[in-house]
Amino acid sequence: MEDCLFCKISAGEMDTDFVYQDDQVVVFEDINPQAPVHLLIVPKKHIADLNNLQPADNELIGHIYQVAKKMAAEYDIAESGYRLVSNCGDDGCQSVYHIHFHLLGGRKLQWPPG
C-alpha cells in the first residue's frame, strides 16, 4: 500500500528506530506512549485490520505473540504483567489501518480499559 504509514515504516522508508525486527515484523516505540513501556509490533505484510485476517495469516499472528513475549522479557515487564492490544475499526479506536499490536506495561494497568 503506497500511502500506508506502517508499510512505509516497516519497509525502512521513514526514519524509525526499531527496537526489534525480523523478516516478518518490526517493533518500535509508540510516539504517544500510554504506559512506561509502549511498543508497536507491526507486521511487514499489509493487513488493514483484524477483520481482514485470513487463515493463511495464522502463523504470522502466532509469530507476533512470540515477539511480544520476547519484548516483554527484554523490557523487564514479563513477570509483573503487560497487555497486548490490537484495535479494530473506528469504534475500536484504530487510527492506522494496518494491523498492529500495542505492547503496554511498566505500571498497573486499569480495567476496564475503555
100 is catalytic: yes
Q: Phi and psi dihedrals of 99, rounded to 5? A: -50, 135
CB 33 within 8 A of CB 104: no
Q: Phi and psi dihedrals of 90, rounded to 5? A: -60, -45
Q: What is the DSSP string of 43-85?
A: ESS---SGGG--GGGHHHHHHHHHHHHHHHHHTT-TTT-EEEE
Choosing from 38, 63, 98, 100, which is the catalytic residue? 100
**Distances in Å between the alpha carbon of 75 and those of 8, 66, 80?**
26, 14, 11
Catalytic machinery residues: 100
